[in-house]
Amino acid sequence: MGKERLGADIIIWPIEASGSHCSNLRERGALLLGADKRGLLFFSVPSAMSIVLAFSGGLDTSFCVPWLRETYDDDVYTVTVNTGGITQDDAHILEDKALRLGAKEHFLVDGRNTLYDDHISYLIKGNVLRGGVYPLCVGSERVIQVRMTVDVARRVGARAVAHGSTGAGNDQVRFDVASRLLADELEIITPIRDRGLTRQDTTTYLEERGFTVPEKTTAYSINSGLWGTTIGGIETRGTSLPIPEPAWADTEDPARSPDEPHDFTVTFEEGDPTAVDGDATDPVTLIESLNELGARYGVGRGHHTGDTILGVKGRIGFEAPAAVILITAHRELEKIVLTKWQRFQKDRLTDFYGMLLHEGHYFDPVMRDIEAYVDSSQAVVSGTVRIRLFKGHVSILGCQSSYSMFDTGVATYGEHAALWDGRDARGFCRLTGLQAVLARKARLNADR
Protein backbone atom coordinates (compact mmCIF):
# COMPACT_ATOMS: atom_id res chain seq x y z
CA MET A 1 0.00 0.00 0.00
CA GLY A 2 1.38 3.41 -0.92
CA LYS A 3 1.03 6.71 0.86
CA GLU A 4 -2.20 8.70 0.73
CA ARG A 5 -2.86 12.39 1.32
CA LEU A 6 -5.86 13.57 3.31
CA GLY A 7 -6.26 17.31 2.83
CA ALA A 8 -3.26 19.57 2.69
CA ASP A 9 -1.41 18.55 5.80
CA ILE A 10 -2.04 14.88 6.67
CA ILE A 11 0.08 12.00 5.39
CA ILE A 12 -0.79 8.34 6.01
CA TRP A 13 1.91 5.70 5.77
CA PRO A 14 1.74 1.94 6.50
CA ILE A 15 3.95 0.86 9.40
CA GLU A 16 5.58 -1.95 7.42
CA ALA A 17 6.68 0.51 4.74
CA SER A 18 7.78 3.30 7.06
CA GLY A 19 11.50 2.81 7.88
CA SER A 20 13.57 5.72 6.62
CA HIS A 21 10.41 7.48 5.43
CA CYS A 22 9.47 8.27 9.03
CA SER A 23 12.86 9.88 9.57
CA ASN A 24 12.45 11.92 6.39
CA LEU A 25 8.99 13.09 7.46
CA ARG A 26 10.33 14.18 10.84
CA GLU A 27 13.12 16.08 9.06
CA ARG A 28 10.33 17.91 7.22
CA GLY A 29 8.81 19.04 10.47
CA ALA A 30 6.11 16.34 10.52
CA LEU A 31 4.31 15.42 13.74
CA LEU A 32 3.27 11.79 14.35
CA LEU A 33 -0.40 11.91 15.34
CA GLY A 34 -0.79 8.19 16.04
CA ALA A 35 -1.61 4.81 14.45
CA ASP A 36 -4.77 2.78 13.85
CA LYS A 37 -5.62 -0.93 13.97
CA ARG A 38 -4.92 -1.30 10.27
CA GLY A 39 -1.24 -0.51 10.87
CA LEU A 40 -1.36 2.96 9.39
CA LEU A 41 0.69 5.89 10.73
CA PHE A 42 -0.85 9.39 10.64
CA PHE A 43 1.48 12.39 10.25
CA SER A 44 0.66 16.07 10.28
CA VAL A 45 2.94 17.88 7.83
CA PRO A 46 3.19 21.64 7.17
CA SER A 47 1.72 22.34 3.74
CA ALA A 48 3.26 24.14 0.75
CA MET A 49 6.83 23.29 1.70
CA SER A 50 9.81 23.84 -0.56
CA ILE A 51 13.58 23.60 -0.60
CA VAL A 52 15.96 25.98 -2.35
CA LEU A 53 19.13 24.36 -3.67
CA ALA A 54 22.36 26.20 -4.49
CA PHE A 55 22.84 24.75 -7.98
CA SER A 56 26.06 24.77 -10.00
CA GLY A 57 25.00 22.17 -12.54
CA GLY A 58 27.88 19.93 -11.53
CA LEU A 59 27.62 16.32 -10.47
CA ASP A 60 26.85 16.85 -6.78
CA THR A 61 24.14 19.49 -7.14
CA SER A 62 22.64 17.62 -10.11
CA PHE A 63 22.25 14.61 -7.82
CA CYS A 64 20.61 16.74 -5.15
CA VAL A 65 17.62 17.82 -7.28
CA PRO A 66 15.96 14.42 -7.80
CA TRP A 67 17.16 13.14 -4.42
CA LEU A 68 15.52 16.03 -2.57
CA ARG A 69 12.28 15.58 -4.48
CA GLU A 70 12.15 11.84 -3.89
CA THR A 71 13.20 12.02 -0.25
CA TYR A 72 11.13 14.96 0.98
CA ASP A 73 8.36 15.20 -1.62
CA ASP A 74 8.85 18.99 -1.52
CA ASP A 75 9.10 21.39 -4.41
CA VAL A 76 12.76 22.05 -5.23
CA TYR A 77 13.85 25.46 -6.52
CA THR A 78 17.36 25.76 -7.93
CA VAL A 79 19.49 28.89 -7.74
CA THR A 80 22.61 29.51 -9.78
CA VAL A 81 24.55 32.61 -8.78
CA ASN A 82 26.68 33.86 -11.65
CA THR A 83 29.98 34.70 -9.99
CA GLY A 84 31.69 34.61 -13.38
CA GLY A 85 32.19 32.24 -16.26
CA ILE A 86 28.53 31.73 -17.19
CA THR A 87 27.66 32.72 -20.76
CA GLN A 88 24.12 33.21 -22.06
CA ASP A 89 24.29 29.76 -23.63
CA ASP A 90 25.52 28.31 -20.33
CA ALA A 91 22.58 29.94 -18.54
CA HIS A 92 20.07 28.27 -20.87
CA ILE A 93 21.81 24.91 -20.46
CA LEU A 94 21.77 25.22 -16.67
CA GLU A 95 18.08 26.10 -16.57
CA ASP A 96 17.16 23.25 -18.92
CA LYS A 97 19.23 20.82 -16.86
CA ALA A 98 17.69 21.91 -13.56
CA LEU A 99 14.16 21.54 -14.90
CA ARG A 100 14.87 18.13 -16.47
CA LEU A 101 16.25 16.96 -13.12
CA GLY A 102 12.97 17.92 -11.50
CA ALA A 103 13.27 21.50 -10.26
CA LYS A 104 9.99 23.40 -10.08
CA GLU A 105 11.70 26.63 -11.08
CA HIS A 106 15.25 27.78 -11.74
CA PHE A 107 16.69 31.17 -10.79
CA LEU A 108 19.84 32.73 -12.29
CA VAL A 109 21.18 35.64 -10.23
CA ASP A 110 24.06 37.86 -11.37
CA GLY A 111 26.45 38.22 -8.44
CA ARG A 112 29.54 39.47 -10.28
CA ASN A 113 29.42 43.15 -9.31
CA THR A 114 28.67 42.32 -5.69
CA LEU A 115 31.49 39.78 -5.71
CA TYR A 116 33.91 42.43 -6.94
CA ASP A 117 32.77 45.22 -4.62
CA ASP A 118 32.62 43.14 -1.45
CA HIS A 119 35.44 40.67 -2.01
CA ILE A 120 37.71 40.80 -5.05
CA SER A 121 38.47 44.49 -4.57
CA TYR A 122 40.00 43.67 -1.17
CA LEU A 123 41.80 40.61 -2.48
CA ILE A 124 43.55 42.86 -5.03
CA LYS A 125 44.22 45.70 -2.59
CA GLY A 126 45.52 43.16 -0.08
CA ASN A 127 47.62 41.20 -2.60
CA VAL A 128 46.00 38.13 -1.04
CA LEU A 129 47.64 34.86 -2.11
CA ARG A 130 47.11 31.93 0.23
CA GLY A 131 50.36 30.10 0.74
CA GLY A 132 51.96 32.76 -1.46
CA VAL A 133 50.42 31.23 -4.60
CA TYR A 134 46.64 30.69 -4.46
CA PRO A 135 44.38 33.73 -5.07
CA LEU A 136 41.31 32.42 -3.17
CA CYS A 137 39.27 31.65 -6.27
CA VAL A 138 36.43 29.96 -4.37
CA GLY A 139 36.11 31.19 -0.78
CA SER A 140 34.70 34.64 -1.55
CA GLU A 141 32.27 33.28 -4.16
CA ARG A 142 30.61 31.02 -1.61
CA VAL A 143 29.63 34.00 0.55
CA ILE A 144 27.88 35.67 -2.41
CA GLN A 145 26.21 32.41 -3.41
CA VAL A 146 24.80 31.87 0.07
CA ARG A 147 23.58 35.47 0.35
CA MET A 148 21.69 35.29 -2.92
CA THR A 149 20.40 31.74 -2.36
CA VAL A 150 18.94 32.87 0.97
CA ASP A 151 17.30 35.84 -0.79
CA VAL A 152 15.53 33.46 -3.19
CA ALA A 153 14.56 31.12 -0.34
CA ARG A 154 12.79 33.98 1.42
CA ARG A 155 11.17 35.10 -1.82
CA VAL A 156 9.57 31.69 -2.45
CA GLY A 157 8.82 31.04 1.22
CA ALA A 158 11.08 27.99 1.47
CA ARG A 159 11.51 26.03 4.69
CA ALA A 160 15.11 25.00 3.91
CA VAL A 161 18.20 25.62 1.83
CA ALA A 162 20.38 22.81 0.50
CA HIS A 163 23.86 22.47 -0.90
CA GLY A 164 25.93 19.68 -2.40
CA SER A 165 29.07 19.92 -0.29
CA THR A 166 30.80 16.81 0.97
CA GLY A 167 31.82 16.26 4.58
CA ALA A 168 35.52 16.47 3.79
CA GLY A 169 35.92 19.89 2.19
CA ASN A 170 35.89 23.60 3.01
CA ASP A 171 32.67 24.57 1.23
CA GLN A 172 30.41 22.87 3.76
CA VAL A 173 31.73 25.20 6.47
CA ARG A 174 31.37 28.31 4.32
CA PHE A 175 27.80 27.44 3.33
CA ASP A 176 26.67 26.44 6.80
CA VAL A 177 28.24 29.35 8.68
CA ALA A 178 26.88 31.97 6.27
CA SER A 179 23.45 30.33 6.05
CA ARG A 180 23.09 30.10 9.82
CA LEU A 181 24.14 33.72 10.25
CA LEU A 182 21.92 35.11 7.48
CA ALA A 183 18.86 32.88 7.89
CA ASP A 184 18.87 30.91 11.11
CA GLU A 185 15.18 30.09 10.60
CA LEU A 186 15.94 27.97 7.51
CA GLU A 187 16.93 24.33 7.80
CA ILE A 188 20.19 23.36 6.05
CA ILE A 189 20.00 20.10 4.10
CA THR A 190 23.23 18.43 2.96
CA PRO A 191 22.51 15.04 1.35
CA ILE A 192 26.01 14.15 0.20
CA ARG A 193 27.70 15.08 3.47
CA ASP A 194 25.12 13.45 5.72
CA ARG A 195 25.13 10.18 3.80
CA GLY A 196 28.84 10.04 2.99
CA LEU A 197 28.21 9.67 -0.74
CA THR A 198 31.08 9.43 -3.23
CA ARG A 199 31.13 10.86 -6.74
CA GLN A 200 30.62 7.32 -8.03
CA ASP A 201 27.56 6.95 -5.78
CA THR A 202 25.95 10.10 -7.14
CA THR A 203 26.87 9.15 -10.71
CA THR A 204 25.20 5.76 -10.31
CA TYR A 205 22.10 7.35 -8.76
CA LEU A 206 21.65 9.72 -11.71
CA GLU A 207 22.33 7.08 -14.34
CA GLU A 208 19.76 4.76 -12.76
CA ARG A 209 17.20 7.51 -13.32
CA GLY A 210 18.14 8.02 -16.94
CA PHE A 211 20.44 11.03 -16.60
CA THR A 212 23.74 10.98 -18.51
CA VAL A 213 26.89 11.87 -16.55
CA PRO A 214 30.02 12.70 -18.64
CA GLU A 215 33.06 10.68 -17.56
CA LYS A 216 35.13 13.82 -16.93
CA THR A 217 32.44 15.06 -14.52
CA THR A 218 32.95 12.01 -12.35
CA ALA A 219 36.76 12.19 -12.56
CA TYR A 220 37.23 15.92 -11.87
CA SER A 221 35.48 18.55 -9.79
CA ILE A 222 35.76 21.92 -11.54
CA ASN A 223 34.56 25.25 -10.10
CA SER A 224 34.76 28.27 -12.40
CA GLY A 225 34.25 31.90 -11.45
CA LEU A 226 35.33 35.47 -12.07
CA TRP A 227 38.42 35.18 -9.86
CA GLY A 228 39.54 31.82 -11.24
CA THR A 229 38.87 28.12 -11.63
CA THR A 230 39.73 25.31 -9.23
CA ILE A 231 40.28 21.70 -10.25
CA GLY A 232 40.18 18.64 -8.02
CA GLY A 233 40.80 15.05 -9.08
CA ILE A 234 42.79 11.95 -8.32
CA GLU A 235 46.08 13.87 -8.66
CA THR A 236 45.11 16.36 -5.95
CA ARG A 237 44.48 13.59 -3.41
CA GLY A 238 48.25 13.43 -3.07
CA THR A 239 51.14 15.82 -3.50
CA SER A 240 53.37 14.09 -6.06
CA LEU A 241 51.40 14.36 -9.33
CA PRO A 242 50.41 17.46 -11.36
CA ILE A 243 47.02 18.03 -12.95
CA PRO A 244 47.24 16.41 -16.44
CA GLU A 245 47.00 18.67 -19.47
CA PRO A 246 43.49 17.55 -20.58
CA ALA A 247 42.04 18.44 -17.16
CA TRP A 248 42.97 22.14 -17.32
CA ALA A 249 39.70 23.89 -18.13
CA ASP A 250 40.54 27.42 -19.27
CA THR A 251 44.20 28.09 -20.01
CA GLU A 252 46.43 27.22 -22.93
CA ASP A 253 49.35 24.91 -22.33
CA PRO A 254 52.20 27.40 -21.72
CA ALA A 255 54.45 25.41 -24.06
CA ARG A 256 51.89 25.86 -26.86
CA SER A 257 51.13 29.51 -26.13
CA PRO A 258 52.27 32.29 -28.53
CA ASP A 259 56.00 32.50 -29.22
CA GLU A 260 56.01 36.29 -28.94
CA PRO A 261 55.42 38.12 -25.64
CA HIS A 262 52.47 40.44 -25.12
CA ASP A 263 53.08 43.80 -23.43
CA PHE A 264 50.30 46.01 -22.06
CA THR A 265 49.46 48.37 -19.19
CA VAL A 266 46.99 48.29 -16.31
CA THR A 267 45.96 51.50 -14.54
CA PHE A 268 44.95 51.55 -10.88
CA GLU A 269 43.02 54.22 -8.98
CA GLU A 270 43.13 53.96 -5.18
CA GLY A 271 44.00 50.29 -5.47
CA ASP A 272 41.27 49.27 -7.92
CA PRO A 273 42.10 48.42 -11.56
CA THR A 274 40.33 50.85 -13.89
CA ALA A 275 41.87 50.56 -17.36
CA VAL A 276 43.84 48.30 -19.71
CA ASP A 277 46.10 50.06 -22.22
CA GLY A 278 44.38 53.30 -21.28
CA ASP A 279 40.87 52.04 -22.09
CA ALA A 280 38.73 52.58 -19.00
CA THR A 281 36.13 49.97 -18.13
CA ASP A 282 34.24 48.56 -15.16
CA PRO A 283 36.17 46.09 -12.96
CA VAL A 284 34.12 43.00 -13.89
CA THR A 285 34.64 43.54 -17.62
CA LEU A 286 38.33 44.30 -17.00
CA ILE A 287 38.82 41.04 -15.08
CA GLU A 288 36.96 39.02 -17.70
CA SER A 289 39.14 40.48 -20.45
CA LEU A 290 42.35 39.76 -18.52
CA ASN A 291 41.20 36.20 -17.86
CA GLU A 292 40.77 35.71 -21.60
CA LEU A 293 44.09 37.39 -22.44
CA GLY A 294 46.07 35.60 -19.76
CA ALA A 295 44.57 32.23 -20.66
CA ARG A 296 45.92 32.53 -24.21
CA TYR A 297 49.43 32.86 -22.79
CA GLY A 298 49.08 30.03 -20.26
CA VAL A 299 49.19 32.46 -17.33
CA GLY A 300 47.75 31.75 -13.90
CA ARG A 301 48.11 27.98 -13.60
CA GLY A 302 49.24 26.51 -10.34
CA HIS A 303 48.86 23.93 -7.58
CA HIS A 304 48.21 24.86 -3.97
CA THR A 305 48.79 22.66 -0.95
CA GLY A 306 47.63 24.01 2.38
CA ASP A 307 45.56 23.66 5.51
CA THR A 308 41.85 23.04 5.21
CA ILE A 309 39.31 24.47 7.63
CA LEU A 310 38.90 20.99 9.14
CA GLY A 311 42.60 20.77 9.97
CA VAL A 312 43.80 18.26 7.39
CA LYS A 313 46.07 19.10 4.48
CA GLY A 314 44.47 19.62 1.09
CA ARG A 315 45.57 20.28 -2.47
CA ILE A 316 43.93 21.79 -5.56
CA GLY A 317 44.87 22.91 -9.03
CA PHE A 318 43.84 26.40 -10.10
CA GLU A 319 43.70 28.67 -13.14
CA ALA A 320 43.48 32.37 -12.33
CA PRO A 321 44.99 34.53 -15.10
CA ALA A 322 43.42 37.87 -14.11
CA ALA A 323 44.08 37.36 -10.41
CA VAL A 324 47.77 36.60 -10.94
CA ILE A 325 48.18 39.52 -13.37
CA LEU A 326 46.43 42.07 -11.16
CA ILE A 327 47.96 41.06 -7.85
CA THR A 328 51.45 41.00 -9.36
CA ALA A 329 50.94 44.47 -10.88
CA HIS A 330 49.27 45.97 -7.81
CA ARG A 331 51.99 44.71 -5.48
CA GLU A 332 54.66 46.33 -7.66
CA LEU A 333 52.82 49.66 -7.69
CA GLU A 334 52.56 49.61 -3.90
CA LYS A 335 56.34 49.30 -3.65
CA ILE A 336 56.83 52.82 -4.97
CA VAL A 337 53.96 54.60 -3.18
CA LEU A 338 53.72 53.07 0.32
CA THR A 339 56.22 53.29 3.16
CA LYS A 340 57.92 50.09 4.25
CA TRP A 341 55.95 50.10 7.53
CA GLN A 342 52.65 50.51 5.69
CA ARG A 343 53.49 47.54 3.53
CA PHE A 344 54.76 45.48 6.47
CA GLN A 345 51.65 46.04 8.58
CA LYS A 346 49.29 45.68 5.62
CA ASP A 347 50.87 42.39 4.52
CA ARG A 348 50.39 40.94 7.99
CA LEU A 349 46.76 42.05 8.21
CA THR A 350 45.75 41.00 4.71
CA ASP A 351 47.35 37.58 5.11
CA PHE A 352 45.18 37.17 8.21
CA TYR A 353 42.20 38.56 6.26
CA GLY A 354 42.71 35.97 3.52
CA MET A 355 42.88 33.17 6.07
CA LEU A 356 39.62 34.25 7.72
CA LEU A 357 37.85 34.61 4.37
CA HIS A 358 39.10 31.20 3.27
CA GLU A 359 37.86 29.64 6.51
CA GLY A 360 34.34 31.07 6.33
CA HIS A 361 34.66 34.01 8.75
CA TYR A 362 33.73 36.80 6.34
CA PHE A 363 31.03 38.12 8.69
CA ASP A 364 33.31 38.50 11.72
CA PRO A 365 33.52 42.25 12.61
CA VAL A 366 37.32 42.14 12.45
CA MET A 367 37.00 41.77 8.67
CA ARG A 368 35.37 45.22 8.43
CA ASP A 369 38.15 46.63 10.61
CA ILE A 370 40.84 45.24 8.29
CA GLU A 371 38.98 46.49 5.22
CA ALA A 372 38.95 49.99 6.71
CA TYR A 373 42.72 49.86 7.17
CA VAL A 374 43.21 48.56 3.63
CA ASP A 375 41.02 51.30 2.14
CA SER A 376 43.02 53.92 4.03
CA SER A 377 46.30 52.52 2.72
CA GLN A 378 45.07 52.63 -0.88
CA ALA A 379 44.53 56.40 -1.01
CA VAL A 380 47.87 56.78 -2.84
CA VAL A 381 47.90 53.51 -4.80
CA SER A 382 47.17 55.10 -8.15
CA GLY A 383 49.31 54.73 -11.24
CA THR A 384 50.09 52.62 -14.29
CA VAL A 385 51.98 49.34 -14.47
CA ARG A 386 53.54 47.91 -17.63
CA ILE A 387 53.21 44.11 -17.83
CA ARG A 388 54.54 41.33 -20.08
CA LEU A 389 52.90 37.92 -20.59
CA PHE A 390 54.99 35.13 -22.08
CA LYS A 391 54.80 31.33 -21.90
CA GLY A 392 52.91 31.17 -18.61
CA HIS A 393 54.88 33.96 -16.90
CA VAL A 394 53.88 37.45 -15.75
CA SER A 395 56.71 39.99 -15.69
CA ILE A 396 56.59 43.62 -14.56
CA LEU A 397 58.46 45.89 -16.97
CA GLY A 398 57.92 49.09 -15.01
CA CYS A 399 55.44 51.33 -13.21
CA GLN A 400 54.80 54.99 -12.54
CA SER A 401 52.68 57.07 -10.18
CA SER A 402 52.33 60.70 -9.22
CA TYR A 403 52.60 59.45 -5.61
CA SER A 404 55.90 57.65 -6.22
CA MET A 405 58.50 58.01 -3.47
CA PHE A 406 61.20 56.91 -5.91
CA ASP A 407 62.77 60.37 -6.08
CA THR A 408 66.12 60.59 -7.90
CA GLY A 409 66.36 64.21 -6.82
CA VAL A 410 66.89 62.99 -3.24
CA ALA A 411 69.21 60.07 -3.94
CA THR A 412 70.15 57.41 -6.45
CA TYR A 413 70.66 54.08 -4.74
CA GLY A 414 74.33 53.11 -4.62
CA GLU A 415 75.52 56.32 -6.31
CA HIS A 416 74.82 59.75 -4.74
CA ALA A 417 72.65 61.50 -2.17
CA ALA A 418 71.47 65.12 -2.04
CA LEU A 419 70.10 65.25 1.50
CA TRP A 420 73.07 63.82 3.41
CA ASP A 421 76.82 63.39 3.11
CA GLY A 422 79.31 60.70 4.11
CA ARG A 423 79.52 61.85 7.73
CA ASP A 424 75.73 61.62 8.12
CA ALA A 425 75.76 58.17 6.61
CA ARG A 426 78.52 57.00 8.97
CA GLY A 427 76.58 58.24 12.01
CA PHE A 428 73.39 56.60 10.78
CA CYS A 429 75.12 53.25 10.35
CA ARG A 430 76.59 53.52 13.85
CA LEU A 431 73.24 54.30 15.48
CA THR A 432 71.22 51.78 13.47
CA GLY A 433 73.24 48.88 14.86
CA LEU A 434 73.48 50.25 18.39
CA GLN A 435 70.84 48.11 20.07
CA ALA A 436 72.28 44.87 18.71
CA VAL A 437 75.75 45.95 19.92
CA LEU A 438 74.44 46.72 23.41
CA ALA A 439 72.54 43.42 23.60
CA ARG A 440 75.62 41.41 22.61
CA LYS A 441 77.81 43.29 25.09
CA ALA A 442 75.34 42.74 27.96
CA ARG A 443 75.05 39.02 27.32
CA LEU A 444 78.78 38.50 27.02
CA ASN A 445 79.28 40.28 30.37
CA ALA A 446 76.55 38.19 32.01
CA ASP A 447 78.18 34.92 30.86
CA ARG A 448 81.55 35.74 32.41
Domain closes at, from 223, 243, 273 = 223
Residue 9 pLDDT exceeds 60 = no
What is d(CA 329, CA 264) in angstroms, rounded to the nearest whole number?
11
pTM of the model: 0.85
Q: Could you tell me if 188 and 72 lie in one domain?
A: yes
What's the mean pLDDT in 361-368?
97
Domain closes at, from 10, 31, 47 = 47
Residue 178 pLDDT exceeds 90 = yes
Q: Could you tell me if 153 and 218 lie in one domain?
A: yes
Cβ neighbours, 10 Å, residue 259: 7
Give tens-digit pLDDT for 240-263: 999 999 999 999 999 999 999 999
Residue 6 pLDDT exceeds 50 = no
> Strand pairing of 10-14 and 31-35?
unpaired
The larger pLDDT score, comparing residue 306 to residue 418, is at 306
Give kind and range of the element (H or E) at residue 124.
helix 121-125
Q: What is the pLDDT of residue 137?
A: 93
Q: How many domains does the chain have?
A: 4
Least confident range of 33-42, 61-70, 332-341: 33-42
What is d(CA 174, CA 143) in angstroms, rounded to the nearest whole number?
7
Q: Is 406 part of any domain?
A: no
Q: Could you tell me if 69 and 25 lie in one domain?
A: no
Q: What is the pLDDT of residue 217?
A: 67
Q: How high does pLDDT run on average in the chain? A: 90
Q: Could you tell me if 255 and 310 lie in one domain?
A: yes
Closest to 396 (Cα-Cα) out of 320, 318, 334, 304: 334
Give tens-digit pLDDT for 78-135: 999 999 989 999 999 999 999 999 999 999 999 999 999 999 999 999 999 999 999 9
Residue 380 pLDDT exceeds 60 = yes
Q: Is 40 part of any domain?
A: yes
Residue 145 pLDDT exceeds 90 = yes
2 confidence band (pLDDT: 50, 70, 90): very low
What's the mean pLDDT in 161-175?
92
Q: Which residue range(s) make up the domain with 11?
A: 1-47
Residue 48 pLDDT exceeds 70 = no
Sheet harboring 383-390: ordered strands across? 279-280, 272-276, 262-269, 383-390, 393-400
Q: Could you tell me if 281 and 353 lie in one domain?
A: yes
**Type of residue found at 325:** I
> What residues contact 251, with CB distance under 8 A and at least 6 apart?
294, 295, 298, 299, 300, 301, 319, 321
Q: Could you tell me if 218 and 233 lie in one domain?
A: no
Give tens-digit pLDDT for 289-348: 999 999 999 999 999 999 988 899 999 999 999 999 999 999 999 999 999 999 999 999
Domain closes at, from 207, 223, 239 = 223
Q: Is 405 part of any domain?
A: no
